[in-house]
């Protein structure tokens, strides 16, 4: 197919072709009843053309020679339009000649497990959730995504990726009167690359009764107090905190203003890199495309740039933005290989990739480095929160308010009872400076999100986040109610 | 310059060509479905559904093109039913009938193998009435490149006060969205929407900006030029030093675009039958009679003659959507949205394609546009809300941000822009005891969402005047 396109490509300065074949399988059981099982595949190509100092794209699922020729012609037409009315000179567009391969680490392929066995797993997990009449709704799900992508270009690029993801999750819904509580588990907020081996690690079946018991316990729990307290965030909430108030503000396309009509801008400005104190000295954040199994691990981005680890924040000081080669050229700033598309029918834009908060180094100073027990032990009065439930942040990624599924009071260094509807709010610019405890390497969890949305046209994409639990001082915390 | 007669002839010729192409596409889809049905066994039922899109997108920043291109995507969804068992599959279509048939036939084989292992589905529910419908676009396709050039030219004009051209950021989207359905029971449906949508904002210094949105069937640059002129005037106000508000409760006017963010929250599990029966709906206290909205609040899901006509009249299971479903009836809970599966589970008639409204309309009130500022008096004029989410769904409590075009008003006069503020308040209060007035004019808002394809959803909403709205940060 790539050769077919090379034969019919339009006259232009540069072209690239990104072929993407996706396969999926979805199994879900609600209240013990199997929902319609769904499988499918998608195959299409994104053509990018640079011509007359302009840049254009066209995506098509007609992969015949005439279909590819038509796509090339349409991409060139838009490139000519861009040449006349473009925001930048398209000679800045990277002309990758990279050759690289990447494959997700998979120990137990999805296809090796027969359908009846998967249905039996679902049944076990589902039955484990149904622990009493107050559990009004419960679901268990399993899914698989396989993606093969080939990026070729007129400059000789040939980058092949084979990605696999097994998704799983559990949900228990408990109700008493006007109070309803939902609790997730079994991998619902713990996505990674990989195969069926992940299910055992996630406790897909074993965790089910505990998920339902948590939901019931939350019905009896008092509301989270409304006051300024210390806060310990577990990795299941750190994922979201990193995502919204570090990942997005550092995206270079936001800083360049591309997203101002939709996803927003950033409180970060170009002059801040190299000097701005983003957080306390305990804050170290990396762009890491090589962590095995993390959701956005890869060898190259969708512009064809080799993906290499970079430090974004070192000892609390902001170092570099998240921007692909084109954004870097536009901004005159260094960046990262993170221009990615959500599929064959969307063009690449700046995305996060894997953004990881580093644990305190084992050979570093003891102050601030701790096990979870030590993090909790250092709190006189506070709340531990886990599993994101609600997320909202302003368009410059500063004023945030997040809610969690479950909270636990901390009194005099000890975990006490559950609290329900826990939430907290703050400003990104100040919040990270209140970081005064970072979990050690043993407490790191490699998670991510599967619904990171931005771009026009809109794109939802997978991004990875690894983090230990962290402690913050003096945070505005609140509970539910009218 | 062409006269109106030759122009209308030209348009009708283009429409004729487009119609021929569309009829070819429809016949091709039906031919594919019929060949697949011929592969089905006598005891099997097959539903074939097409979703297709050909869209031009042009993304603007600083009133220049950041990224532009075209997307052509057609997808086939199959639902195979054998007795009380069902399974679904999907694949992309190339447009070549022979190639696509082989692809789909492979899927059909996979489904048949899969069905052997699946249990009966007690909630299997498809229409056994072989409904039919056809809807064709009434206008030729908009020339996207020409329209984008019009916009850039309009934005480049120096404003009276602003001097230079506008810092315009946004997305142009236009083209065709097609839906088709065919089944071995005799269903035959075809629906083509051809429209454009331009969603944009214009920016001043700092974080001050104003929002615009325009959608329709025929492109005319005049409304965009008029809106840009109005935005220039607003940007002059936005250039004033912003008022920084302390957290607290403020009287507020919520413009229709801001109201849409709140109704989007209600749409999230609010009206879905399954969510209501499992007590997950944020409207639980309303359903239980513990809370009420103001009696002036009525919400309906509207299709048929009163709808936009953009959405298909049929569901994936072959049911026809009713013209109207009353979701909130004078402040009290109305009917839920019942999709096919939930209808079977809970024994109610199907009235929706899903549990989520796609064409929501709020009953307007009596506050005329020219009276809004005077009625507001002193408080916030909120043009737009952003990034709403539940603060506590049990109390219908929502948090979110002000964003575009938000002003501080004193004694009915706009005084200054307001720095973005976070609200956290219950919709039972905002649509209940604190509701002062509802705008007399409902605005049609077409969705700008393009996740997974160009949305055809819409809302027709008035603005709301509230006696108080709680701001937390």
- Closest by Cα among A93, A122, A98 to A327: A93
| pLDDT (0 to 100) of residue A104 | 98
What integer is the mean pLDDT of B85-93?
98
- Closest by Cα among B208, B219, B204 to B174: B219
Binning pLDDT at 50, 70 and 90, where does residue B150 land? very high
Query: What part of B 2-41 touches A (C-beta under 8 Å)?
Result: none
Residue A48 has which token pair? 């990018």
Inform me whether the pLDDT recorded for B289 exceeds 90.
yes
Binning pLDDT at 50, 70 and 90, where does residue B10 land? low
Inform me whether the pLDDT recorded for B2 exceeds 50.
no
Could A390 and B94 be called an inter-chain contact, meaning their C-beta atoms sit closer than 8 Å? no
| pLDDT (0 to 100) of residue B23 | 86
Q: Count CB neighbours of A56 within 10 A.
A: 31
Query: What part of B 284-303 touches A (C-beta under 8 Å)?
Result: 284-285, 288, 290
| pLDDT (0 to 100) of residue B3 | 43
- B235 CB-contact burial (10 Å; exposed 0-12 / middle 13-18 / buried 19+): buried
Q: Which of B391, B400, B449 shows the shortest C-beta gap to A458? A: B449
Please report the number of interchain residue pairs, chain A to chain B, with beta-carbon separation below 8 angstroms.
251
- A107 CB-contact burial (10 Å; exposed 0-12 / middle 13-18 / buried 19+): exposed
Among the ranges given (A218-227, B126-135, B302-311), the one the predictor scored with the smallest mean pLDDT: B302-311
- Chain B hits for A265, CB-CB cut-off 8 Å, are 207
Could A178 and B74 be called an inter-chain contact, meaning their C-beta atoms sit closer than 8 Å? no
Could B279 and A180 be called an inter-chain contact, meaning their C-beta atoms sit closer than 8 Å? yes
Spatial separation of the C-alpha atoms in residues A215 and A201, rounded to whole Å: 22
The 10s digit of each residue's pLDDT in B192-202 is 999 999 999 99
B460-B462-B466 Cα angle (round to 5) = 145
Inform me whether the pLDDT recorded for B157 exceeds 90.
no
Q: Count CB neighbours of B195 within 10 A.
A: 24
Please list the ranges in chain A whose pLDDT falls under 50. none
Give how far A44 is from chain B: nearest CA, Å: 8
Q: Which of B114, B152, B288 shows the shortest C-beta gap to A85? A: B152
Query: What part of B 365-394 touches A (C-beta under 8 Å)?
Result: 386-394
Q: What are phi and psi of A433, to 5 degrees?
A: -80, -15
Rounded to the nearest angstrom, the gap between the alpha carbon of residue B151 and the centroid of all alpha carbons in its chain is 23
Could B71 and A345 be called an inter-chain contact, meaning their C-beta atoms sit closer than 8 Å? yes
Q: What three-state secondary structure class fits A11?
A: coil
Spatial separation of the C-alpha atoms in residues B444 and A93, rounded to whole Å: 39
Percent of chain B predicted with pLDDT > 90: 90
The rounded radius of gyration (Å) of the Cα atoms in chain B is 25
Spatial separation of the C-alpha atoms in residues B325 and B330, rounded to whole Å: 14
By C-alpha distance, the chain B residue nearest A137 is B278
The DSSP 8-state label assigned to residue A316 in this structure reads T
- Chain B hits for A425, CB-CB cut-off 8 Å, are 422, 472-473
The 10s digit of each residue's pLDDT in B324-334 is 999 999 999 99
Inform me whether the pLDDT recorded for B163 exceeds 80.
no
Angle between helices B97-115 and B4-39 (to 10 degrees): 40
Angle between helices A115-129 and A208-220 (to 10 degrees): 20
Residue labelled with tokens 């007399």? B440
Q: What are phi and psi of B186, to 5 degrees?
A: 110, 0
- Chain A hits for B201, CB-CB cut-off 8 Å, are 260-261
Query: What part of B 451-470 touches A (C-beta under 8 Å)?
Result: 451-452, 454
The 10s digit of each residue's pLDDT in B379-388 is 999 999 999 9
- Chain B hits for A75, CB-CB cut-off 8 Å, are 69-70
pTM: 0.96
The DSSP 8-state label assigned to residue A420 in this structure reads B
Could B169 and A260 be called an inter-chain contact, meaning their C-beta atoms sit closer than 8 Å? yes
Q: Provide the phi-psi class of B248: left if phi over 0, else alpha when psi is between -120 and 50, else beta.
A: left
Give how far A85 is from chain B: nearest CA, Å: 6
Largest alpha-carbon pair distance within chain B? 74
| pLDDT (0 to 100) of residue A189 | 96
Could A457 and B450 be called an inter-chain contact, meaning their C-beta atoms sit closer than 8 Å? yes
Inform me whether the pLDDT recorded for B366 exceeds 50.
yes
Could B119 and A59 be called an inter-chain contact, meaning their C-beta atoms sit closer than 8 Å? no
- Chain B hits for A396, CB-CB cut-off 8 Å, are 207, 420
Give how far B70 is from chain A: nearest CA, Å: 5
Inform me whether the pLDDT recorded for B7 exceeds 70.
no
The per-residue DSSP string of A142-157 comes to EEEEEEEEEEEETT--
3-state secondary structure chain B: CCCHHHHHHHHHHHHHHHHHHHHHHHHHHHHHHHHHHHHCCCCEEEEEEEEEEEEEEEEEECCEEEEEEEEEEEEEEEEEEECCEEEEEEEECCCCHHHHHHHHHHHHHHHHHHHCCCCCCCCCCCCCCCCEEEECCCCCCCCHHHHHHHHHHHHHCCCCCCCCCCCEEEEEEEEEEEEEEEECCCCEEEEEEEEEEEEEEEECCCCCEEEEEEEECCCCHHHHHHHHHHHHHHHHHHCCCCECCCCEEEEEEECHHHHHHHHHHHHCCCCEHHHHHCCCCCCHHHHCCCCCCCCCCCEEEECHHHCCCCCCCECCCCCECCCEEEEEECCEECCCECCHHHHHHHCCCCCCCCCCCCEEEECCCCECHHHHHHHHCCEEEECCEEEEEEEEHHHCEEEEEECCCEEEEECCEEEEEECCCEEEEEHHHHHHHCEEEEECCCEEEECCCCCCCCCCCEEEECCEEEEEEEECC
Q: Count CB neighbours of B462 within 10 A.
A: 23
Could B391 and A36 be called an inter-chain contact, meaning their C-beta atoms sit closer than 8 Å? no
Residue B18 has which token pair? 């487009």
Structural contact between residues B41 and B69, judged by C-beta atoms closer than 8 angstroms? no
Spatial separation of the C-alpha atoms in residues A287 and A357, rounded to whole Å: 9
Give how far A214 is from chain B: nearest CA, Å: 17
Could A456 and B392 be called an inter-chain contact, meaning their C-beta atoms sit closer than 8 Å? no
- Chain B hits for A89, CB-CB cut-off 8 Å, are none
- Chain A hits for B290, CB-CB cut-off 8 Å, are 178
Which of B28, B49, B66, B206 is the best residue to mutate to test the A interface, defined by the most A CB atoms within 10 Å of its own CB? B66
* B107 in reach of chain A (CB within 8 A): yes
Q: Which of A81, A453, A458 shows the shortest C-beta gap to B68? A: A81
Strand partners, B60: B65, B170
- What's the Cα-to-Cα distance from B464 to each of B245, B298, B401, B429, B442, rounded to whole Å? 21, 13, 17, 12, 10
- What's the Cα-to-Cα distance from A142 to each of A34, A128, A165, B451, rounded to whole Å? 11, 15, 11, 23
Q: Which of B70, B73, B199 shows the shortest C-beta gap to A74? A: B70
Structural contact between residues A316 and A283, judged by C-beta atoms closer than 8 angstroms? yes
Which of A40, A86, A139 is the best residue to mutate to test the B interface, defined by the most B CB atoms within 10 Å of its own CB? A40
Pairing of strands A179-185, A227-233: unpaired
Residues 6 or more apart whose Cβ sits within 8 Å of residue B170? A261, A456, B59, B60, B198, B199, B200, B201, B212
Pairing of strands A310-314, A369-370: unpaired
Spatial separation of the C-alpha atoms in residues B397 and B424, rounded to whole Å: 7
Q: Which of A41, A182, A395 shows the shortest C-beta gap to B403? A: A395
Structural contact between residues B441 and B364, judged by C-beta atoms closer than 8 angstroms? yes
- Closest by Cα among B361, B339, B333 to B263: B361
| pLDDT (0 to 100) of residue B13 | 63
* B136 in reach of chain A (CB within 8 A): no
Residue labelled with tokens 């391969």? A101
Residues 6 or more apart whose Cβ sits within 8 Å of residue B276? B283, B284, B287, B336
Spatial separation of the C-alpha atoms in residues B11 and B2, rounded to whole Å: 12
Structural contact between residues A180 and B288, judged by C-beta atoms closer than 8 angstroms? no
| pLDDT (0 to 100) of residue B4 | 45
Spatial separation of the C-alpha atoms in residues B206 and B235, rounded to whole Å: 12
Give how far A273 is from chain B: nearest CA, Å: 19
The sign one gets for the Cα dihedral B125, B129, B130, B132 is negative
Q: Count CB neighbours of B341 within 10 A.
A: 22
Structural contact between residues B328 and B461, judged by C-beta atoms closer than 8 angstroms? no
Q: Which of A37, A260, A425 shows the shortest C-beta gap to B209? A: A260
Strand partners, B453: none
Spatial separation of the C-alpha atoms in residues B299 and B281, rounded to whole Å: 16
């Amino acid at each position: 197919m790539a050769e077919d396109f090379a034969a019919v490509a339009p006259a232009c300065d540069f072209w690239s072709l990104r072929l993407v074949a996706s396969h999926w399988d979805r199994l879900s059981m609600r209240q013990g009843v199997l929902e319609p099982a769904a499988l499918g595949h998608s195959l299409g190509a994104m053509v990018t053309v640079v011509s007359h100092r302009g840049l254009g794209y066209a995506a098509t699922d007609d992969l015949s020679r005439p279909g590819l020729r038509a796509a090339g012609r349409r991409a060139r037409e838009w490139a000519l339009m861009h040449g006349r009315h473009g925001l930048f000179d398209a000679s800045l567009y990277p002309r990758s000649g990279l050759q690289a391969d990447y494959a997700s680490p998979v120990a137990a392929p999805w296809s090796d497990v027969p359908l009846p066995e998967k249905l039996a797993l679902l049944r076990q997990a589902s039955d484990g959730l149904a622990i009493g009449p107050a559990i009004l709704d419960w679901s268990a799900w399993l899914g698989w995504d396989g993606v093969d992508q080939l990026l070729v270009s007129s400059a000789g690029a040939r980058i092949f990726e084979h990605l696999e993801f097994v998704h799983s999750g559990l949900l228990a819904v408990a109700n008493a009167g006007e109070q309803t509580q939902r609790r997730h588990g079994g991998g619902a907020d713990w996505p990674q690359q990989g195969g069926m081996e992940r299910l055992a690690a996630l406790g897909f079946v074993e965790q089910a009764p505990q998920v339902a018991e948590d939901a019931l316990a939350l019905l009896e729990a008092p509301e989270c107090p409304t006051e300024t307290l210390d806060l310990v965030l577990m990795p299941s909430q750190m994922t979201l905190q990193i995502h919204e108030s570090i990942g997005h503000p550092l995206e270079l396309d936001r800083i360049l203003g591309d997203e101002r009509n939709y996803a927003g801008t950033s409180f970060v400005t170009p002059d801040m890199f190299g000097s701005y104190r983003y957080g306390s000295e305990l804050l170290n954040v990396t762009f890491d495309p090589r962590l095995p199994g993390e959701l956005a691990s890869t060898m190259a981005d969708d512009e064809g740039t080799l993906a290499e680890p970079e430090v974004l924040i070192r000892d609390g000081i902001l170092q570099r933005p998240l921007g692909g080669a084109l954004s870097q050229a536009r901004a005159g700033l260094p960046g990262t290989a993170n221009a990615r598309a959500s599929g064959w029918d969307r063009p690449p834009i700046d995305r996060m990739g894997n953004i990881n908060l580093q644990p305190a180094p084992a050979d570093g100073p003891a102050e601030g480095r701790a096990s979870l027990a030590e993090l909790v032990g250092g709190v006189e009065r506070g709340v531990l929160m886990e599993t994101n439930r609600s997320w909202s942040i302003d368009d410059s990624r500063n004023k945030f308010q997040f809610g969690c599924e479950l909270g636990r009071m901390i009194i005099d260094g000890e975990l006490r009872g559950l609290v329900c509807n826990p939430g907290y709010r703050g400003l990104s610019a100040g919040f990270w400076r209140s970081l005064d405890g970072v979990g050690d390497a043993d407490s790191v969890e490699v998670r991510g999100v599967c619904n990171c949305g931005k771009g026009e046209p809109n794109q939802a994409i997978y991004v990875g986040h690894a983090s230990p639990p962290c402690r913050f001082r003096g945070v505005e915390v609140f509970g539910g109610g009218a | 310059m062409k006269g109106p007669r030759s122009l209308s002839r030209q348009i009708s010729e283009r429409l004729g060509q487009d119609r021929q192409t569309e009829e070819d596409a429809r016949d091709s889809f039906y031919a594919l479905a019929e060949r697949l049905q011929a592969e089905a066994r006598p005891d099997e039922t097959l539903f074939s559904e097409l979703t297709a899109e050909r869209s031009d997108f042009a993304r603007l920043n600083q009133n220049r093109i950041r990224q532009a291109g075209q997307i052509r995507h057609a997808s086939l969804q199959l639902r195979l039913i054998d007795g009380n068992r069902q399974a679904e599959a999907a694949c992309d279509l190339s447009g070549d009938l022979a190639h696509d048939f082989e692809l789909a036939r492979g899927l059909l084989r996979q489904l048949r193998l899969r069905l052997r292992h699946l249990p009966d589905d007690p909630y299997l529910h498809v229409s056994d009435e072989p409904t039919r419908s056809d809807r064709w676009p009434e206008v030729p396709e908009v020339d996207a490149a020409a329209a984008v050039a019009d916009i850039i030219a309009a934005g480049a004009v120096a404003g009276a006060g602003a001097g230079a051209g506008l810092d315009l950021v946004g997305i142009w989207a236009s083209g065709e969205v097609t839906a088709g359905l065919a089944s071995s029971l005799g269903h035959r449906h075809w629906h083509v929407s051809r429209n454009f949508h331009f969603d944009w904002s214009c920016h001043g210094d700092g974080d001050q900006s104003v929002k615009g949105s325009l959608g329709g069937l025929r492109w005319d640059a005049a409304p965009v030029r008029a809106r840009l002129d109005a935005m220039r005037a607003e940007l002059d106000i936005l250039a004033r030093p912003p008022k920084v508000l302390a957290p607290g409760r403020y009287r507020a006017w919520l413009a229709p675009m801001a109201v849409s963010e709140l109704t989007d929250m209600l749409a999230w599990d609010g009206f879905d039958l399954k969510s209501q029966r499992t007590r997950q709906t944020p409207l639980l206290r309303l359903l239980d009679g513990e809370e009420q909205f103001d009696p002036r609040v009525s919400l309906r899901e509207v299709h048929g003659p009163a709808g936009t006509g953009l959405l298909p009249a049929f569901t994936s299971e072959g049911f026809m959507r009713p013209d109207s479903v009353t979701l909130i009836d004078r402040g009290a809970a109305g009917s839920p949205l019942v999709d096919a599966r939930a209808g079977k589970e809970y024994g109610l008639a199907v009235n929706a394609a899903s549990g989520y409204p796609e064409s929501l309309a709020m009953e307007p009130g009596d506050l005329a546009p020219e009276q809004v500022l005077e009625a507001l008096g002193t408080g916030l004029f909120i043009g737009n809300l952003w990034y709403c989410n539940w603060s506590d769904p049990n109390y219908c409590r929502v948090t979110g941000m002000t964003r575009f075009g938000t002003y501080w008003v004193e004694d009915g006069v706009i005084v200054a822009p307001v720095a973005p503020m976070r609200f956290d308040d219950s919709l039972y209060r905002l649509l209940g005891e604190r509701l002062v007035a509802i705008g007399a004019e409902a605005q049609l808002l077409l969705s700008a969402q393009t996740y997974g394809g160009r949305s055809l959803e819409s809302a027709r909403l008035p603005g709301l005047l509230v006696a108080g709205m709680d701001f937390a940060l």
